[in-house]
Amino acid sequence: MKQGLLLWSPCPHPPLSQPSFPFLSLSIPRTKHALSQISATLDSTTTTQEQDLLTARERRQLRNEKRESKSGYNWREELEERFIKKPKKKPTTSVAEELNLDKLALLGPQWWIVRVSRIRGDETADVLARLLARNFPQMDFKVYAPSVKERRKLKNGTYSVKPKPIFPGCVFLWCVLNKEIHDFARECDGVGGFVGAKVGNTKRQINKPRPVSDNDMEAVFQQAKEEQEKS
């Protein structure tokens, strides 16, 4: 008892050496956690063994059953909607088909834009119309180059009236376009080609004409009419 009191007394004396009693160290395992860990490992091993025993088809059925068990979820409907909304791939065309200008005739009669000089656009339109009528008498075509009359005062005091193009540098051609007519129109004096886009590959590229839509042509006619009424 005296030794126990000396050990716990807050006196400034140096502490005495602890008595050499034989101590017993007992490690008591925590039964609850140990049991839970053992049971968890057993469950995991059993589930993995069961999954290994199942075939691929049975595992797939289990996954589907788990998905269907969720409220308001149907994986089949989701897949059907995904495949229905998926856009179909456009059929690819070869380079030879893109370079073939005779395929443009399949579109039927369309409006095309011909590039001409901004200064002599009216003269080029007249020359193009006369040459097409002379060399293709059986072809139906129209050449449209709207303009307004502009009055200018000269140095000598007189006035000159000249046509001013509403769409400078452009002449509209309505016809069934193919390679023969395309090449013939390009060879006319003052023509710089057709408005289009480049097609082909690195070895060969051409400027393939693009037709003008009906809505765009209606807007062109309306603008030309308004400009002519103003003048």
Residue 207 makes CB contacts below 8 A (sequence gap 6+) with: 193, 194, 196, 197, 198
- Mapped onto helix, strand or coil, the DSSP state of residue 218 is helix
- pLDDT tens-place string over residues 44-89: 454 555 556 778 888 888 887 777 666 566 666 766 666 665 556 6
Residue 206 makes CB contacts below 8 A (sequence gap 6+) with: 99, 101, 198, 199, 200
Residue 67 makes CB contacts below 8 A (sequence gap 6+) with: 73, 75
- One-letter amino acid at 48 equals T
Structural domains in the chain, sorted by start: 95-216 (3.30.70.940)
Taking the chain (231 residues) in consecutive chunks of 10 residues, what is each chunk's mean pLDDT?
Answer: 46 49 47 46 51 76 75 64 62 71 90 89 90 92 89 82 86 93 91 88 85 91 88 70
- pLDDT tens-place string over residues 151-161: 888 888 888 88
